[in-house]
Amino acid sequence: MVSGYSRVITARMLPSRRTGDLTDGHWRLLAEWGAVPKTLVWDNEAGVGRGRPTSEFAAFAGLLATKIYLWRPRDPEAKGLVERANGYLETSFLPGRHFSGQQVIVLTSGGEIVAQHARCWARHQTLTDPEHAEAGQAMRQEARRRPTGQIHAVGSASSPLIEVEQRELGSYDRLFTVIDGGEGKEAG
């Protein structure tokens, strides 16, 4: 990102040019500036929008109370400022460096680590803890063995079974005002 007035350059390595990564990068750079410009100028980047901003990027601009201006395609004079900054960063900081893109993601609940793995940047990939996959497979096998319509608890003999109250699904719709009789009151 380059300020059109002061020519201040800020930059961040992003894993992709998708909208989520671009808005995250913008958010972090603007947080470093401690200010938001009146207008953000873009060159029809797919993650921002071609011809008009994507709905996600428009929402981001609305959150920041700024405008987005998209340059016409193939207009080299319009983006010279940013292209010179990109050239400077590429020739001054990137030669000889390699980026693995590996970050370790740690999820905690109540101070206890519940998941820890290397971040995966691949699209459409699901990471599953081997213990969870094994437990899921055992539950599916148990469900296949039980006769249709019969419900019984799955658990070990040493652990006590816990009864859980079950409600009609419409009760939740009424509680959350999806259907009549809602506004925090349960009908009949």
In this predicted structure, the answer to whether residue 182 has a pLDDT above a threshold of 50 is: no
What average pLDDT score do residues 70-92 get?
79
Residue among 72, 73, 40 nearest 57 (CA):
40
* Sign of the CA dihedral running 154, 155, 157, 161: negative
Tokens of 83: 């292209």
- pLDDT, one tens digit per residue, over 102-146 is 677 677 777 777 777 776 666 666 667 778 788 888 888 887 887
Q: Which residue has the higher pLDDT, 25 or 153?
A: 25
Q: Which residue has the higher pLDDT, 183 or 35?
A: 35
Tokens of 112: 């206890």
Residue type, 28: R
The most confident of 114-118, 173-177, 180-184, by mean pLDDT: 114-118
Using alpha carbons only, how large is the chain's radius of gyration in Å? Answer: 26
The most confident of 12-26, 72-86, 117-131, 158-172, by mean pLDDT: 12-26
pLDDT value for 150: 52
- pLDDT, one tens digit per residue, over 16-69 is 888 888 888 888 999 988 888 898 888 777 888 887 888 888 898 898 899 888
